[in-house]
């Protein structure tokens, strides 16, 4: 579960080629980080995988099945948005329960899932509060909780910590890594922050102008950067 394959995937907006023919293999349970400078196509690539944008050509396989044009809700993936995407008028409990309610699940099953997610995320004591009564880190956990209850094949994160201050970012980085270790679900994490990439990833995908410059473990990239761009970006001495 959670194996994602991209074959010669491209995306153009009008005359602008944002993703060039791109091949990528994401293994079951991997923590993969897309890193690269602003505007290189990280968010677009994530949105193509999520189905929020339609590919221009190529193929996307999820667990071996062609999902190139499958609607987002049927891909079994969960996008974790930044915490400001929470519903301010709803309690934490209702925010987390929202996707299950939409899916028509019965209340007892919803309660069990929400309580389970709250436990994993240390939110049990905050379920009756509203987002406005929480810290930035707690709000981000609620956003993650809303993804967890759907039991997705993969979690997709687009710069989830960019709204948080530096100290909190370090904390949340650890929490997301721990979550990955306990759930063992595939995670794709977009960031422009090299430190996040180097500390969180099993596999880093370095992007520049819609192309993959290099794919490898943090250590591979650090020791054997494919070119000056990767070396400069990762901060290795080459
Ligand atoms: P990143 O997330 O790496 O900063 P994006 O994927 O957001 O980069 O954007 C990559 C490029 O695609 C940018 O030049 C951006 O302006 C362009 N782009 C993204 N979305 C659209 C869109 N809906 N229409 C036109 N151009 C877009
Ligand atoms: Mg982006």
Residue nearest to atom 23 of ligand 1 (CA): 13
**Confidence at residue 168, expressed as pLDDT on a 0 to 100 scale:** 87
Q: In the chain, what percentage of residues exceed pLDDT 90?
A: 89
For the entire predicted model, the pTM comes to 0.94
3-class state of residue 186 by DSSP: strand
**Confidence at residue 238, expressed as pLDDT on a 0 to 100 scale:** 55
Q: Ligand 1, residues 9, 10, 12, 13: which to mutate, most atoms within 8 A of Cβ?
A: 13
**Confidence at residue 83, expressed as pLDDT on a 0 to 100 scale:** 65
Q: Which atom of ligand 1 is nearest to the CA of 47?
A: 6
Cβ neighbours of residue 135 closer than 8 Å, sequence gap 6 or more: 168
Q: Which ligand is nearest to the CA of 11?
A: 1
For residues 81 and 160, give the distance between their C-alpha atoms in angstroms, rounded to a whole number: 6
For residues 26 and 199, give the distance between their C-alpha atoms in angstroms, rounded to a whole number: 18
Give the model confidence (pLDDT) of 193-221 as tens digits. 999 999 999 999 999 999 999 999 999 99
**Confidence at residue 81, expressed as pLDDT on a 0 to 100 scale:** 79
Q: Which tokens in the block code for residue 178?
A: 């721990």
Q: Which residues of the chain have pLDDT under 50?
A: none
């Amino acid at each position: 579960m959670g194996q994602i394959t991209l074959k010669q995937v491209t995306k153009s907006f009008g005359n602008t080629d944002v993703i060039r023919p791109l091949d990528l293999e994401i293994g079951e349970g991997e923590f993969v980080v897309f890193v690269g400078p602003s505007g290189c196509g990280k968010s677009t690539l994530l949105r193509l995988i999520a189905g929020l944008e339609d590919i221009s050509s190529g193929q996307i396989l999820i667990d071996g099945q062609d999902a190139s044009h499958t609607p987002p809700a049927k891909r079994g993936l969960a996008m974790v948005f930044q915490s400001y995407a929470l519903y301010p008028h709803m309690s934490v409990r209702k925010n987390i329960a929202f996707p299950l309610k939409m899916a028509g699940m019965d209340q007892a099953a919803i309660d069990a899932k929400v309580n389970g997610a709250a436990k994993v995320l240390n939110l049990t004591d905050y379920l009756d509060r509203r987002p406005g009564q929480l810290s930035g880190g707690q709000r981000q956990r609620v956003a993650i909780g809303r993804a967890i209850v759907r039991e997705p094949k993969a979690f997709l994160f687009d710069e989830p910590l960019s709204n948080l201050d530096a100290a909190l970012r370090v904390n949340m980085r650890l929490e997301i890594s721990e979550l990955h270790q306990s759930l063992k679900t595939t995670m794709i994490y977009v960031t422009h922050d090299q430190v996040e990439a180097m500390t969180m990833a099993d596999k880093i995908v370095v992007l520049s102008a819609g192309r993959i410059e290099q794919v490898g473990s943090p250590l591979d990239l650090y020791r054997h950067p494919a070119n000056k761009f990767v070396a400069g970006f990762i901060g290795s001495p080459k």
